[in-house]
Amino acid sequence: MNKKQSVLLQRTYIILVFCFMYLPIAVMIAFSFNESKSRSNFTGFTLGWYKSLFHNEMILSALGLSLVLALVSSVVATVLGTLATIGINSMSRKSQLIINNISYVPVVNPEIITGVSLMLLFVMAQNFGITIFNRKDEDAFREAYRKRHARRQAEAVLDAQIYPIRLFILPEAGKRERQDYLQCMRRYSIPTLILMFFIFSFLGWCWEVGIHLIEDGVFVNRGVLHGPWLPIYGSGSILILTLLYRFRRNPGLMFVATVVLCGVIEYFTSVYLEYMHNGMKWWDYSGYFLNLDGRICGEGLLIFGLGGLAITYLTAPLLDNYLRKIPYRISVPVCLILIGAFLADQGYSKRYPNEGAGITDYKGAYVEEIEHANL
């Protein structure tokens, strides 16, 4: 076989490969202008299918969300890719080789990466109550849970374990409807969790600012950050909803687990902040009952435990009922804007932390009480 024949065969092979990939798409495009629904018999030219397409709100909503995600992912990928290139370029040759080989894994093994990602998604949904977006099958899951609960109630009535609802003097049916409305074993979508993080961070900020305003009559912008949010409240709330998902069926265990989790978060957050900011304290429980190094105390953990129960069984379900109604073309950009503002505040506060009277000038509650008594 001479060189000319070899080149001809190579070109023929490439043409066949492209025909194999793109001819089905071309046929589908051609038959999209077909008057009938047939995929084999072309009966006439029409634009009717495209007219009905652009009058379908669900498809337009999906298209808008896809465009927003495409734009955001392109911008994020460009920024991260540029920063990664600058960082890799400054590494040694051996380090560059390792990083480049790792970066090729998703390209070489897309099926493996996809499989692992789906496995993690199922693990998140099953063990942490997280889903990427709210889907119709989530509503089906909640309905199945409601029916299972109703079946167990009926079995308990038949076994004479509980009193029949229909014989109640009180409006028990309305009570059951409210319980279904606040169904706690639901899964929360990622946009909902992000919005809840900022909502609970803001409520935590209002809580601490309100306490100082009532006790001292002075407005104090509490927290390390300068914005109206305390991320320790938002992070704690989201971790309660996710890490403790398996405990939701048992309020007693949920309370104990919440106390332990919040204690760990508050203690190590205090250690981290003092280490990063040369011993500066944003809270000090010295002198409080059952305090540990002034970082946590029994009174605070009791409040956090009760608050965690309120979040799990009341506040979060109520918020989710309203947040899931927001279209993704609105909620996703809002999440990105909030995250951007939060990261900007984090960057600024890392260099210039929020400090001053009522924020970081702690001497410990016991010392302050003695000084106040001497006055």
pLDDT digit string, tens, across residues 195-208: 999 999 999 999 98
Give the CA count within 13 Å in the CB-facing half-sphere of 206: 7
What torsion, rounded to 10 degrees, do the Cα atoms 272, 276, 277, 283 define?
Answer: -10
pLDDT at position 177, please?
Answer: 46
Which residue stretches of 250-327 are H helix?
251-276, 298-310, 316-323
pLDDT at position 110, please?
Answer: 63
pLDDT at position 364, please?
Answer: 43
**328-351 vs 57-89: helix crossing angle, rounded to 10:** 30
What is the sign, positive or negative, of the torsion defined by CA atoms of 295, 298, 299, 300? Answer: positive
Token pair belonging to 118: 């789906």
**Backbone phi, then psi, for 142, in 5-degree steps?**
-65, -40
Q: Give the Cα separation of 26 and 40 in Å (integer).
A: 13
pLDDT at position 90, please?
Answer: 77
Token pair belonging to 301: 């953990």
- Provide CB contacts within 8 A for 41, sequence distance 6+: none
Give the CA count within 13 Å in the CB-facing half-sphere of 245: 16
Token pair belonging to 119: 């496995």
Element (H, E) at 124: none
Nearest to 231 by CA among 292, 274, 282: 282
Taking CA atoms, 335 is separated from 72, 76, 194, 214, 339, in Å, by 12, 14, 7, 32, 6
Residue spans of beta strands (DSSP E) within the chain: 130-131, 188-189
What are the b/e assignments for 185-202, b being 16+ CB within 10 Å? ebbbbebbbbbbbbbbbb
CA 166 remoteness from chain centre? 40
The β-bridge partners of 188 are 130
Do the Cβ atoms of 157 and 164 come closer than 8 Å? yes
Residue 348, classified by CB atoms within 10 Å of its CB into exposed (0-12), middle (13-18) or buried (19+), is middle
pLDDT at position 88, please?
Answer: 78
pLDDT at position 178, please?
Answer: 47
pLDDT at position 338, please?
Answer: 92
pTM equals 0.60
Q: Residue type for 111, please?
A: E
The phi-psi region of residue 251 (left if phi > 0; otherwise alpha if psi is between -120 and 50; otherwise beta) is alpha
Nearest to 128 by CA among 21, 291, 247: 247
Q: Give the Cα separation of 172 and 167 in Å (integer).
A: 9
What is the sign, positive or negative, of the torsion defined by CA atoms of 106, 109, 110, 116? Answer: negative
The 8-class DSSP code of residue 292 comes to B
Q: Residue type for 12, please?
A: T
Element (H, E) at 336: helix 328-351
Instruction: Enumerate residue ranges in the chain where pLDDT < 50.
Output: 169-181, 364-370
Q: How many CB atoms lie within 10 A of CB 64?
A: 14
Q: Give the Cα separation of 179 and 186 in Å (integer).
A: 12
Element (H, E) at 172: helix 172-181
Q: Is 45 helix (H, G, I), strand (E, B) or coil?
A: strand
Do the Cβ atoms of 153 and 165 come closer than 8 Å? yes
